[in-house]
């Protein structure tokens, strides 16, 4: 079974630029999560989708971050404009229908460096 | 509020000796608890989880954890460390099935 795919794996941009990350969850997984992991900290949930609807985006900085999952499969996370403090690893995870966080599979992450 | 505290940011052991990674949680309800491992440049991998069944939970790679409600603890142990165990370990609490709160992580170093 293929795992959660993310691209790019690494990205370096200058502050005030825009950046987008892509996630392809495991086939059949209805729930998709985006996490931000700042160096030295545990991951923090940014947004959770159930199919193509948003379940929780309470910790998403909506002035600069946006995410979508238009067809209920792939998802993109965008930052516009980026700030220095956005430097982090962005993790995508997915879980099967009904499993919630009890059965969550993580991708390898995208490491963002903002200069 | 639900949260976890990993009591050690860094633990160093010798190969073949026991591992103890400590985690305390706070939760208003009976939570689900998890341990994840993160190797460099790899995704988070679930080691084990507690979801209100047996209090002693066995996971992959010889790890286990014991849920102690009276102490609000969920410490991770392994009888004998292997070099491949060197990684970052995260204790996680979930008060419901939709939210996870990660601890800050414990970096495990294994010396030959």
Q: Which domains does chain B have, with CATH numbers?
A: 3-51+67-111 (2.60.40.10)
User: How much of chain B exceeds pLDDT 90, in percent?
Assistant: 74
Q: What is the predicted pLDDT for the residue at A5? A: 95
pLDDT for the residue numbered A93: 95
- Check A104 against B99: CB less than 8 A apart: no
User: Quick check: A115 pLDDT over 70?
Assistant: yes
What residue in B sits closest to A41 (Cα-Cα)? Answer: B104
How many angstroms separate the CA atoms of A10 and A29, rounded? 25
d(CA A6, CA A23) in angstroms, rounded, equals: 5
Per-residue pLDDT, B51: 84
Q: If you average pLDDT over residues B70-89, what whole number do you get?
A: 96
Q: Nearest CB to A106: which of B43, B51, B99?
A: B43
Chain A: give the shortest CA distance to residue B97, in Å: 5
Residue B30 clears pLDDT 90, i.e. is over it: no
Cβ distance A91 to B43 less than 8 Å, yes or no, reads yes
- Best of B43, B45, B52, B87 to disrupt the A interface (most A CBs within 10 Å) is B43
Residues of chain B found within 8 Å of residue A108, distances taken between Cβ atoms: 41-43
Mark yes or no for CB contact B104/A40 under 8 Å: yes
pLDDT at residue A111 in the model: 95
Inter-chain CB proximity B43 and A100 less than 8 Å: no
Q: Say whether A56 and B104 touch across the interface (CB within 8 A).
A: no
pLDDT at B28: 72
- Per DSSP, the three-state class of B67 is strand
Structural domains of chain A, ranges and CATH numbers in brackets? 5-114 (2.60.40.10)
Q: What is the DSSP string of B71-112?
A: TTEEEEEESS--GGG-EEEEEEEESSSS--EE---EEEEEE-
Q: Are A96 and A105 in contact (CB under 8 A)?
A: no
Chain B contact present for A91, CB below 8 A: yes
Sheet holding A75-79, edge to edge: A5-7, A19-24, A75-79, A65-68
Q: Say how far apart CA A59 and CA A53 lie, in whole Å.
A: 16
pLDDT of B82-100, one tens digit each?
999 999 999 999 877 678 8
Which chain B residues contact residue A48 at CB under 8 A?
98
Closest CA to A18 of A65, A79, A61, A84: A79
Beta carbons of A102 and B100 less than 8 Å apart: no
pLDDT tens per residue, range A13-72: 999 999 999 999 999 999 999 999 999 899 999 999 998 899 999 999 999 999 999 888
* pLDDT (tens digit per residue) in B1-13: 678 999 999 999 9
Q: How many CB atoms lie within 10 A of CB A74?
A: 15
Residue A100 has pLDDT above 90, yes or no: no
pLDDT at A1: 62
The confidence score (pLDDT) of residue B84 equals 95
Q: Which pLDDT belongs to residue A38? A: 95
Query: Can you tell me whether residue A59 is helix, strand or coil?
Result: coil
Grouping H, G, I as helix, E, B as strand and the rest as coil, residue A85 is helix
Nearest CA of chain A to the CA of B42: how many Å? 5
């Amino acid at each position: 079974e293929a795992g959660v795919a993310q691209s790019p794996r690494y990205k370096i941009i200058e502050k005030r630029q825009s950046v987008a990350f892509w996630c392809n969850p495991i086939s059949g997984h209805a729930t998709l999560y985006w996490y931000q992991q700042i160096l030295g900290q545990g991951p923090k949930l940014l947004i959770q989708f159930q199919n193509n609807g948003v379940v929780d985006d309470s910790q998403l900085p909506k002035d600069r971050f946006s995410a979508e999952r238009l067809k209920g499969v792939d998802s993109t996370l965008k930052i516009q404009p980026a700030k220095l403090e956005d430097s982090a690893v962005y993790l995508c995870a997915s879980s099967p229908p009904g499993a919630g966080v009890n059965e969550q599979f993580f991708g390898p992450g995208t490491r963002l460096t903002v200069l | 509020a639900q949260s976890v505290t990993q009591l050690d940011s860094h633990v160093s052991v010798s190969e073949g000796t026991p591992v103890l990674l400590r985690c305390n949680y706070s939760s208003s309800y009976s939570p689900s608890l998890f341990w994840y491992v993160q190797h460099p440049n790899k995704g988070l991998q679930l080691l084990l989880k507690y979801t209100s069944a047996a209090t002693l939970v066995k996971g992959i790679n010889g790890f286990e954890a014991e849920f102690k409600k009276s102490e609000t603890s969920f410490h991770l142990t392994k009888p004998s460390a292997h070099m491949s165990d060197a990684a970052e370990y995260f204790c996680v609490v979930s008060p419901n099935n939709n939210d996870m709160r990660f601890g800050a992580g414990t970096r495990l170093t294994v010396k030959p």
